[in-house]
Structure 1
Amino acid sequence: MSVLNPLFVTVTWGAGGSTSAKTLDLVAMCQRELGFTTCMHLTCTNTTRATIDDALARAKAAGVRNILALRGDPPRGEELGWDNSLSDFQYAVDLVRYIKKQHGDFFCIGVAAYPEGHVEGSDSSGQSPAKDMPFLVEKIKAGADFVITQMIYDVEKFLAFEHTIRENDDIKDVIVLPGLMPINNFSVFHRASKLSHASIPTSILAQFPPEIQADDNLVKQVGVDVMCDVIQQMYTRTDKRVRGFHFYTLNLEKSLAQIVEKSPLLQRIFDTASFNETLHVDGSSDLNKLVREKRSDSGSFKNTVVFDDAPNARPGSHKPSSSYHQRVLTISSGQGTLGRDATWDDFPNGRFGDSRSPAYGEIDGYGPSLKVSVEAAVALWGRPENPKDLAKIFVDFLTNKISNLPWAASADGGLNPETALIQEHLIELNERGWFSLASQPATDCTKSQDKIFGWGPRGGYVYQKSFVELFITKAEWECTLKPKLEQDEMASYYVADNGSFFESNLPPKSVNAVTWGVFPDREIAQTTIVEEESFKAWKSEAFSLWQEWARCYLPGSRSNTLLASVLEDYYLVSIVHHDYKNETALWDLLLL
C-alpha cells in the first residue's frame, strides 16, 4: 500500500486494549520504518487512565501525532448492573477532553460519525442522524480536529449529513472524511453493510444481479465503478468540500489501486497540472498540517491533498514520476512484482468468511463483540445453565431455529448453503458437546459456477478440503478426540486454550490451503488457508466472545458462571482432513 502514498493510515485498537501491544508495535513500524503518517485508533470504554496514558506516551515516542478517539463497545452487562466505577471514561468525548488536557495540541484528534445514525440511538422509526448530531458537536467542541464516518454507500444520506454539519456554526469548519469500503465480493459487501447498519441504495444493488454475484471478478469490476461514482459525487455535490476519503481496505490493496487508477478525481495525482496549487503531505508529516491549513483558510480549502512519488519526498517536488503511475497500474492489474503480491486478494471471501469475520478485520475498530444488544442476545440464546443447554443452542442454529451464534452474529444470520451437505454430521458433533464454529465439506473439481461451491470466474474448477473448528472440553480432547486424530495421517490439527498452551501435529509455521481454484489463464488461487499464526490470533478472539456472551447475564448467575467456565475448561481445535477426494473422511473419523 505504500506505493499508493496515502495521506495517512489508521491502525485499529481492540476493545479494552485487548490488542494494544500489537497495535502499538504496528503503529511504530508504520511511522518509523515505512514512513507513513499514522493515525492510531484508541478506544476508552472499560479502560483505565493508566492504560490511556501508556498508549499515548508510546505513540508519542514513536512519532505518532494522530489519534482516532473512539468510545468502543460498552462492556456486556452494563444494562444489568455492571459497576463502571473503575472506568475513567464513559464516552469518546471524555477521551478527547483528556487528550487535549494532557497533551494540548500535540495530537491531532479524530472522532467517528454516523451519517445514517448510530444503531444505539434507534427507535421505532429507525436510526436517526439528528439524534447523533449533538454528540458529534460535543466531541468537536471538546477538541476534535477531524471526522471519519462509518462506512457509507448512500450518497444522498451522506450529503444530507454533510449539509447539516456545514449549517451548524459550532462545527461547520471540521474536516469530514467519508468512510468507504471497496467491494471485493458480494457476500462480504452485503454482510459488512448490515453489520455497519449502512444502507445500500437500490441503484447500487441493481448493478449486482444474481447472475454475477458469485463471480468475484465481475463483482470487483462493478464495485470499482460504483466506488468511483460515489467518490465523484461526494466531491462535486459538496462543492468540493470533501477533500479526502478513508478506505476500509480490510487489508486488500488491489481493488483500491484500481479505484485510484480509474477514478477521474483520484487520477489527478497523475496530472502534473493539478499540482500547481497543492498542500503536500509527505510521509514524515502529520494531520496537523491539514488541520492548520483548514483553519487558516476560514473553513474552505484552497488546496488539494495529494500523494507524492516517494514516502519521504520533500515539499516542493510536486511532479509525479511516470514510474509511480506505472507501479500503481501494476498493482491494479495484478502484473509485475507488486501486482503478483496483490493477487492474493482476488477472492477474499474464502469459504467461511461469514463465521470467521475477525480474520478479515473489524470494520468498526472496536474489536470482537456479539454485534447484538444484551436484550437481543438473551432473546436469541436464552439463559443456558449447563452444557446440554449450550449444545441445544448450537444445534438450533444448525437447524435454522435461531439465526445467529456469537461467532457468526451477522445481520444476515443463517448458514452457508454448503453447510447443509454436512449438517447431520455437525449436529451429531454438537450433541456430543463439541461446539462447532466453522466448517466446510470437501469437494473435488467442482465447476466454478456451481451454485453451492462455486466462486471465482466462470470456466474454472474449485477444490476444498473438509474442515471443522470447534470447542471441546480439555478432558475430551485428551481422552477422545486427540487419539482419533493421531490414528489418521491425513488429519492435521491446531489446539489451544485461552492462555499460552498450543499444540499441533504439524511442523512449526506450516500453512495449509483448504480452498483453491484453477481458472483459465491464471495461476492456482488459494483463497482460504489454515495456519498457525492466524489460528493463534483468532483463538484469542474466539474465547473472548464467550466472555462477551457471559456479560449478558448478571455476575454469579448460572448462565454467567457456565459461559465464563468455558474460558478455563475448553480448548479450541482446528482440524483439516487432507483427503479432499473423500467427502466423508473427516466425519467418519470424528464420529466413529
Structure 2
Amino acid sequence: MKITNKLLDSHKEENAPATFSFEFFTPKTSQGLQNLYDRMDRMYDLNPLFIDITWNAGGRLSTLTTEMVQTTSTVLGLETCMHLTCTNMKTDLIDQALKSAYESGCQNILALRGDPPLDGSESTGDFKYAKDLIRYIRKHYGDHFCIGVAAYPEGHPEESDPVKTLNYLKEKQDAGADFIVTQMFYDTENFINWCDECRQIGITMPIIPGIMPISTYAAFVRRAGWSEIAIPKHFNEALEPIKDDDAKVREVGTKLVIDMCQQLLDSKRVNHLHFYTMNLEKSTLMILQGLNLVTKQQLHDMKQPWRKSLNPNRSKETVRPIFWKNRKFSYISRTANWDEFPNGRWGDSRSPAFASVESCESELIRHSPKKALELWGTPNSLKDLAELTIRYINGELSCLPWSDGQISSEIEPTKKQILDIVKHGILTINSQPSVNGLKSSDNVFGWGPKNGYVYQKQYLEFLIPSTVVSSLIERINEINKGTDSNILSFYATDKDGQLITNTQDSDIIAVTWGCFPGTEVIQPTIVERISFLAWKDELFSILDKWLSIFKHEKATQASDFLSSLCDSFTLVTVVDNDYVKSPNTRIFELFQDIDLLAWTA
C-alpha cells in the first residue's frame, strides 16, 4: 500500500494517535543480516506504518537492498520503502532495482540523488538530480510507486541559500514526488518554521520528520557534525556533563527526544515520526513508550493466524501447514515459485507444485557456525538437548535450530505440561493449545475479521526414540477405541520416510479455523500427509546442518549424539480433534510413566 494512503487512512479521525516508521541500513555481514531480520521481526509487533531500507553508500549498486526489500515484503509482511540513489547509477541498474521492487510488491520508493563521488568529480550516472530520477520512475511506472524525497530543514550543505533549497524541494514535488522525509534535526522551533515556509511556497506533500535517537554522546555529536545541524543549548547543557556515562546519556537523551517529538506533534505540522534506528532497537522503543505510542492491542490486519505476505504473487494464499509455524523464512523459500495458492502442494497433495528442501538450504540454520555455537553450545546428550529446549520454552533463548523466533505467549495454556514432558526427554518441536470460540479480537489467539470467533485443535509435534513409537501408538489406539472417528490423529516418520498414521491418504485436518459475520468458515492452518513428510525432510536436514557444525569444530561427543538422534529418532505429530474439552491434557497423558532420560542415563 502507498505510504500516502496509509497516512490518510491512519489519520482520518481528528484525534487519531501519531504513527511512526523505522529506517534500517544494509548490514555488512551475513550474520548481521540475519540478526537484523530478527530485529525487524520483533519490531513488527510495534506496528510501524512502514519501514525503509537504505541504498548502499556512495551510490554503488547494492543488490542486498533489493534482496532485503523482497524479504521484508514477502516474508516479514512489512510495508517497505526502498531507498534508490541515482549518483553514479546507470539506467540499466535503476531499471533492475525498480523491477525487483515492483515484483516484490513494494509500492514505495525514496528517490535520492545520493552522495557525490568522494574524489569531488562529477557523477558518471545517467541522472544528475533526484528530480530526474522521479520523472524517470513516473514515465515508466506511472502511479504505481509512491515516491518520497529527502529535505533539509536546516539547509543543504551544498547550497547556502535557503530559498533555493526550498525551491529545489518544490521542483521535486512538481516532478511527481508524493511525500517528504527530512534529515535528522534537534531544533524544533526551526523545523516548525521551515514547515510553514514549505506550505507558503506551495509544497503540499506530507512532511515526515526524521528522528535520530541518542544512544551515546560521541555518536550524538558525530552525527550532528556529519549532518551539519545545530544542537540546541539545552541539549548540550543536559548531555555534556554526563558524556562519559553511556547509560545516563541514553536515559537523558531519550527524554530530550521525547520532549522534542511531543512538541512536533503538538504543533500540528506533522502526525508521523520516522526513526533512524541505526539498526538498533532499544533507544527507539524507549522513545515510543515515552510518547505512549506502543500498546498491547492487536493492531495488525491479521487475516490469517500467520504473517500476511505483501508480495502480490502470494495474494491468494489462504492455507498453510502448521509445521512451518515458527519457520516463515524457509517456508517462503520452499514455496517461492508457486503460481497457485492455496492449491499448492501443502493445500492439496495432488498438485505437482513442490519444492525440495535444497531450495531453502541457506535458511536451514539462519546463523553462522560461530553464532550457532554461542547460542546452543554443544549438546552431548538427550539431557543436554532437553535442557536447551526448556531454556527456549522459558524465554531464556531467542531461538532453536528449528524455531526462528522467540517462544510466543500462545504456549501459556499448555506450558506446564510441555515443560513436564521435555524434562522427561520428549523433544518438542511445535505445539498449539486448543481454543473453543474465542473472540477474533483476542490479543493472543485472535485473527480474522471483527466480531468473529476462532477455534483451534490442540496438536503436539515431537521427536522420540523409534523404539518407543509402537508403545505410543498403542496408547493412542486405546484412547480412540470405541469412538466413531479418531479423537487423536497422528503421523509418525523416521528420517528415511517410513510413515505410520491412522489417517487416510486424502485426509486434510483443519487445526485452526474461524467463523465470521457475512463470510464462510475460514480454515487457514492444516495438518496433512504430504506436507508432514516435506517438513520431516526439512527438520532432519536442519539436524544434519547442525551436525556438520559439530564435525567441523571437532566436537566429537556432540557429533556422535546428534548422529544417533538423526538415525534412531522418529518425528511424530498428534492432533486432538476434540477442541471442546477444557482443560485438555489428553495428548500429554500419552507420556505418563515415560522417562527417556532415566532410560538413557
TM-score norm. by structure 1 comes to 0.48
